[in-house]
Structure 1
Amino acid sequence: MTETLTIARVGGQGDGIAETPAGPVFAPLTLPGETVRAVVRDGRAEAVEIVVASPERVVPVSPHYGDCGGCSLQHWAAGPYLEWKREQVRLALARERIEAEVEPTVAVPPGTRRRLALHARRGEDGRVLLGFKARKSWRLVEVRVCPVADPRLVAALPALSRVAEAFLEHPKSAPTLHVTWTLTGLDVDVTGVERRSGGLSRDAQMRAIEAATAADLARLSLAGETLVMSRQPVVTFGAATVPLPPGGFLQAVPEAEAAMVSRTVGAVRGARKIADLFCGAGTFTFPLATLAPVLAADASAAGIAALRAGMGTAKGLKPITAEARDLFRRPLAPYDLRGCDAIVLDPPRAGAMEQTLQVAQTRAGTVVYVSCNPVTFARDARGLIDAGFRLERVTPVDQFLWSAHVELVGVFRR
């Protein structure tokens, strides 16, 4: 049955929410204050028709908007959109009874994302389709343009489709191309290839290598194992040039990375020794080492190896000690962190509860927590606050433009 709904707010996943006698109804691609007509099933609005549009609604810039699942908030004007992201951080903190200054959201421009995860499927006509999943669906939306992506990634889409074809050898394969623009060209790591029947055949590997060579990829790898490398993919962290491991983690947008690094470095200035936990290949390590000696730790042995390789490329840095260690199973204890008067954490979405509890017992006066999940950040912040820290300020960062995803930098002082 078709119902008329008034959208009250936008929820944490980016859908508009209408309050009804039967409970909340989630309406995708709507804005606060809008009146819409929709078919409501199980608390979700389908076939949504905008009756009265919000003055904050703008014309989406992507031809794939509404079908592609990647940009659920592209129809929202920049000001209220960025303020909504700020509010998501405030709400996460409030659930843990935390009050702190939440700064305005740091915006990033379109056309700057250097990492994409592109799904490959074979269409009904036999063509290789490359793109993103549709909203709330496994269906693939073929993408020919992408306003959030670096134009060099968009220009490579036809060549990447030819590379993907070799990985569709088995009917059960659902390959994803993790594409990264580096200083030496495109780095592509492919996952999702069916392995139970023996994995990619030698013939398919050769076809993939030939396509990668024709596309002038810097490197092509399969689930972290290099198939062909014409040039070592490298990135810069501070003054260091670092070889990126196959499938290695890298912040998606250089401008967002720069904003997070500058705030982190500014917060620990004056420290005598700094710990950089969940350090990856050194995103924060090298800028921090311009200030003081750094103890760096991460579970990725490949990331630590890359960090060590980068240590010889920069001059004027303070000593860096790097250790491969699973900080979830074996968090660094106060004894391991002795002498560190500033500690930086940049964990994955699950947060770092066990490591945070150990940090709380140290004598460090400053903790900087970089997070890609306000909910787990707030949970871990509660532990630090209970141990005597004060959350001085939080800066949201809009790394993933027009999505519901929020990143942040939180600064704690004892």
Structure 2
Amino acid sequence: MTAEIEIVIETLGAQADGVAQTPQGPLYVPYVLPQERVLVRPAGDGRAELRRVLDASADRIAPACPHFTFCGGCSLQHMEAARYADWKWAQVATALRARGIEAEIAPLVPARPRSRRRATFAATRTKKTLAIGYYAQASHTIVPIAECPLVVPEIERALPALAGLVAPGLSRTSRASVLVTSTASGLDVAVTGGKPLDGPLRLELAARASAADIARLSWGGEIVAGRRPPFVDLSGLAVLPPPGAFLQPTREGEAALVRLVAQGVGKSVRIADLFAGCGTFSASLARSATVHAVEGESASLAALARAVREQGPSLGLKPVTHETRDLARRPLLRSELDSFDAVVFDPPRAGAAAQAEEIARSEVPVVAAVSCNPATFARDARTLLDGGYALSELTPVDQFLWSPHIELVGIFRKG
């Protein structure tokens, strides 16, 4: 067994692990803070297990959850709130500096506990029971949980019922993913990785979903129970997303992003909403501008189109056109972009390298870039800056409380 060693943590890395320099190179330790003296056990590959905090930082606080350090859902519950906000803000600044970008960064828009309206749990059948919870850090071990201070209360209250709901479709040889979303109609549950559906399983799952009062249950992408349509409110537009569709994780965070984007594009009258999803930004922008929504996932785009068709006239929305298109492989070209007054893009974590290159060549006056990854945001921002844009506003938004992840909105203006 590897011997324990004493080290001093110098800083926190991008994934919120503490970093200590040793003769063998940097050592990464979870659940520590800068300047703490700790006892650790090296685990190989430059990582170490925290054994004991010998000298604690003044910024260390008691965690909010008894599962902290056991489950892998949170990394920073032990950090005082103001220092936590400073650290998240600094991650954005660090990512920009790595690309040679100096910009004024607004204060972090904070997240609050019990605000996550969606969460993904892991579930499997054991020899004697069923385990549902989160994976332990860097592990395939499922840590069963009875409470979670991240999620809205209705998801937390449903945890025992969720275990019973999915139990018939689980085996001891696989792990299922259980995505739960809180909607105005109740819980929308999407399960992947379970047993293949057959007639008896479909009937059993439907009966259990009814007993648990689940609004909608889908299994492997197929809807097996739909007591009520799980609509989500996108700036007053009621959209019925397909099972497993992307949504912003918190309502408050979504509202902040929508507000920042709307302020950024100002009085633009023709807007392209790229990587539009189910219409998080389109629904708001169409109040005052015509919108062209582009998204590679056709079911999400169809949900937006249906909602606009049915509700747009009564809401006074401007026209919203839509196009299914893989923007990573086939971005909108400069010749297509130049007809717009503004472009909004909100890509996956990998960013929008190809699309940013086309935007940089265009004459679009204003661009609102939304990202959940400061590193790829900075890469795409560098492309826009090199194309003649200026980064006029940048705001980090915390939707991923106690984790290293962060959302941000940047407003770029040409010339």
| Superposition TM-score tier, normalisation by shorter sequence | over 0.9
The reply on whether 1:112 has 2:112 as its aligned counterpart is no
Q: Do 1:167 and 1:175's aligned partners in 2 also have CA atoms closer than 8 Å?
A: no
- Structural mapping, 1:199-278, within 5 Å: 199-278=196-275
The reply on whether 1:136 has 2:138 as its aligned counterpart is yes
**1:44 & 1:236 partners in 2: Cα distance?**
43
The reply on whether 1:29 has 2:31 as its aligned counterpart is yes
**1:23 & 1:162 partners in 2: Cα distance?**
47
**1:223 & 1:333 partners in 2: Cα distance?**
35
Shift of 1:50: 0.2
Match of 2:42 in 1: 40
**1:140 & 1:173 partners in 2: Cα distance?**
12
Alpha-carbon displacement from aligned partner over 1:89-109 (angstroms, at most 9, x marks no partner)? 111111111111111111011
Shift of 1:47: 4.0
Gaps of 5+ in 1: none
**1:291 & 1:91 partners in 2: Cα distance?**
36
Match of 1:14 in 2: 16
Shift of 1:67: 0.2
What is the DSSP-based 3-state SS (H/G/I as helix, E as strand, rest coil) of the residue aligned with 1:102?
coil
Alpha-carbon displacement from aligned partner over 1:143-176 (angstroms, at most 9, x marks no partner)? 10000100000111111111110221x4433111
- Structural mapping, 1:255-404, within 5 Å: 255-311=252-308, 312-314=310-312, 315-404=315-404
Shift of 1:319: 1.3
The reply on whether 1:189 has 2:190 as its aligned counterpart is yes
1:78 is aligned, of 76, 81, 101, to: 81
**1:297 & 1:81 partners in 2: Cα distance?**
36
**TM-score, normalization: structure 1?**
0.96
Query: Structure 1 residues 76 and 87 mapped into 2: Cα distance closer, same or farther (>3 Å)?
Result: same
**1:41 & 1:346 partners in 2: Cα distance?**
38
Gaps of 5+ in 2: none
**1:113 & 1:102 partners in 2: Cα distance?**
25
**1:313 & 1:359 partners in 2: Cα distance?**
32
The reply on whether 1:100 has 2:87 as its aligned counterpart is no
Q: Do 1:269 and 1:291's aligned partners in 2 also have CA atoms closer than 8 Å?
A: no
Shift of 1:272: 2.2
What is the DSSP-based 3-state SS (H/G/I as helix, E as strand, rest coil) of the residue aligned with 1:100?
coil
**1:304 & 1:63 partners in 2: Cα distance?**
40
Shift of 1:327: 0.9
Shift of 1:370: 0.4
What is the DSSP-based 3-state SS (H/G/I as helix, E as strand, rest coil) of the residue aligned with 2:306?
helix
What is the DSSP-based 3-state SS (H/G/I as helix, E as strand, rest coil) of the residue aligned with 1:54?
coil
What is the DSSP-based 3-state SS (H/G/I as helix, E as strand, rest coil) of the residue aligned with 1:335?
helix
Shift of 1:398: 1.1
Match of 1:64 in 2: 67
**2:216 & 2:143 partners in 1: Cα distance?**
26
Q: Do 1:346 and 1:370's aligned partners in 2 also have CA atoms closer than 8 Å?
A: yes
Aligned residues: 408
Residue 148 of structure 1 aligns to which amino acid in structure 2? L
State the percentage of identical aligned residues.
44
**1:41 & 1:135 partners in 2: Cα distance?**
13
Alpha-carbon displacement from aligned partner over 1:246-299 (angstroms, at most 9, x marks no partner)? 111111111111111100000001112111000001000011112211111001
Q: Do 1:27 and 1:48's aligned partners in 2 also have CA atoms closer than 8 Å?
A: no
**TM-score, normalization: structure 2?**
0.96
**2:219 & 2:356 partners in 1: Cα distance?**
34
